[in-house]
Amino acid sequence: MNNFMQQFMDQHAELTRRWFLRSSVLSAAACGLSPLAANRFANASELSDAISKLESFMTKPDDFRDVSRGTPLPHKLPDEKKNEVGLARQSWRLEVISDPDKPAKLGRQLTVKDGTALDFDGLLKLAEKHAVRFPKVMTCLNIGCPLGMGIWEGVPMREVLWMTEPREDIRRVFYYGYHNNDPKQLFRSSLPVGRILEDPFDLPPVILCYKLNGQWLSSERGGPVRVVVPEHYGFKSIKWLTTIVLSNLEHANDTYGEKNNDVDSPLKSFSAVLSAPKEVKPDTPFAITGYAQVGIASVKKVQLAIHNDRDELPDDDKYFSSLKWIDAETLGPPSDWGGGLTDGKIPANTLGFDSAGAPAAWPMRLCKVHWAAMLPGLPAGEYTLRSRTVDEKGIAQPMPRPFRKSGHAAIETVSFVVKAT
Ligand SMILES: Nc1nc2c(c(=O)[nH]1)N[C@H]1C(S)=C(S)[C@@H](COP(=O)(O)O)O[C@H]1N2
Ligand SMILES: [Mo]
């Protein structure tokens, strides 16, 4: 651990109740080359104060932002109606069928009509042997900022796929949920069958999810059962799941694709400010905090650049690479993960965590990481603050995939004024 952080921790034991600032995560900050280093030390209490006000790492299920379609919204139906249409654990049924238009060769289908559809008890039976849980940030491709961060638990989708005794002619799997029995309200997502059968690299499986942060999945979050696809934006994680279709279709057929979205784009990394003052006094260092979404290419570091608005920006520098970028401190794993988890602890056997509940790697891919920095005192003026992630390969945001319809990665700008009061 570097000297600054050691002293920081000694002086601010308070802070470490929520956030361990571990040496492993400070490698980026350890290059105390930046002019920020000295200021950071001198203003440790202001920085620790800002850090202590950060959001919790995990989000309580009720605090997620909701992106739901349907008139009426399925989760707003009265309980009686929910029970009638299979939106309650005791009445939930999952059909797994062959696509009538592009049939897959199956030994059997799971259907309500034949009494072979999977019910919730059947799912929990599979869970006894196959259940997994893993952390994931849920982000809408179109909204950009995360809706919430949680530990999702369920049964790998491949387990129910194998129940159909598939033989041949399966290339695509698509799936949808309860949509008021109105074809116009259908919201469908799809994956190549290979992604369901096998988990590439170190990704968790695609799951039929029934718990979030240790609690039964609420109706608003898509309960009784939703799909959760670890590496994708939210639209692949279909709520109120009723139907899985095994198909010989050779391409994606996600409803989201009809709105010009790139439906094959995995989660990107980006940084955003959480707290920054609107106005500061001249020559007075100040604290700011933020988070980074950790996409498929991970996050090596978060950087900040301050620009005096009176200075012109070069107009051939779309991604602001000519600004002077300074590393922020990325914060380590919290001691209390929040989100309504029992005792704020990670449940046993969560993928990506060791037996003591500590993350195997940091930051955790497909999650978030928080950051903080003391900015140096500045002369009076109007300024723009930018932050960006640099991924594992050293590629800075918004590259390598800068297009908006493959997910948000544009560099955020935050304005502030430095003036004497
Ligand atoms: N059945 C169904 N599933 C759905 C949706 C929907 O409208 N209907 N919205 C999707 C989209 S676009 C997103 S971003 C996520 C949002 O998940 P959340 O509401 O749990 O935050 O759910 C996805 N699953
Ligand atoms: Mo979305």
Q: What is the pLDDT along the chain (421 residues), one digit of tens a residue?
A: 344 344 444 433 333 333 433 322 233 333 223 333 334 445 678 898 999 999 999 999 999 999 999 999 999 999 999 999 999 999 999 999 999 999 999 999 999 999 999 999 999 999 999 999 999 999 999 998 999 999 999 999 999 999 999 999 999 999 999 999 999 999 999 999 999 999 999 999 999 999 999 999 999 999 999 999 999 999 999 999 999 999 999 999 999 999 999 999 999 999 999 999 999 999 999 999 999 999 999 999 999 999 999 999 988 999 999 999 999 999 999 999 999 999 999 999 999 999 999 999 999 999 999 999 999 899 999 999 999 999 999 999 999 999 999 999 999 999 999 999 8
Does the global pTM surpass 0.85?
yes
Residue 136 in contact with ligand 1 by CB distance below 6 A: no
Rounded CA separation 31/28 (Å):
6
Give nearest CA residue, ligand 1 atom 21: 66
Tell me the DSSP string of 308-325. Answer: ETTSPPPTT-TT-TTS--
Q: Is domain 66-259 classified as CATH 3.30.413.10?
A: no
User: In this structure, which ligand is nearest to the CA of 222?
Assistant: 1
Give residue 20's pLDDT. 35
User: In this structure, which ligand is nearest to the CA of 226?
Assistant: 1
Give residue 421's pLDDT. 83
Cβ atoms 269, 387 nearer than 8 A: no
Residue 323 in contact with ligand 1 by CB distance below 6 A: no
Q: Distance from the CA of 62 to the center of ligand 1, in angstroms? A: 14
Q: What are the residue ranges of CATH 2.60.40.650 in the chain?
A: 3-60+268-418
Q: Which regions of 258-367 does DSSP assign to beta strands (E)?
A: 270-275, 279-280, 286-293, 301-308, 326-327, 329-330
Q: Which of 62, 63, 64, 67 to mutate to test the pocket of ligand 1 (most atoms within 8 A of CB)?
A: 67
Q: Is 371 in a helix, a strand, or coil?
A: strand
Q: Which of 76, 227, 233, 237 to mutate to test the pocket of ligand 1 (most atoms within 8 A of CB)?
A: 237
What class, spelled out in words, does domain 3-60+268-418 have in CATH?
mainly beta
Q: Distance from the CA of 127 to the center of ligand 1, in angstroms? A: 23
Residue 177 in contact with ligand 1 by CB distance below 6 A: yes
Strands 132-139 and 146-156 come out as antiparallel
Q: Distance from the CA of 68 to the center of ligand 1, in angstroms? A: 5
Q: Distance from the CA of 67 to the center of ligand 1, in angstroms? A: 5
Q: Which of 187, 241, 267 to mutate to test the pocket of ligand 1 (most atoms within 8 A of CB)?
A: 187
Q: What are the residue ranges of CATH 3.90.420.10 in the chain?
A: 66-259
Give residue 216's pLDDT. 98
Using alpha carbons, select from 286, 317, 298 the residue that is nearest to residue 385.
Answer: 286
User: In this structure, which ligand is nearest to the CA of 147?
Assistant: 1
* Ligand 1 atom closest to 179 (CA): 1
User: In this structure, which ligand is nearest to the CA of 176?
Assistant: 1
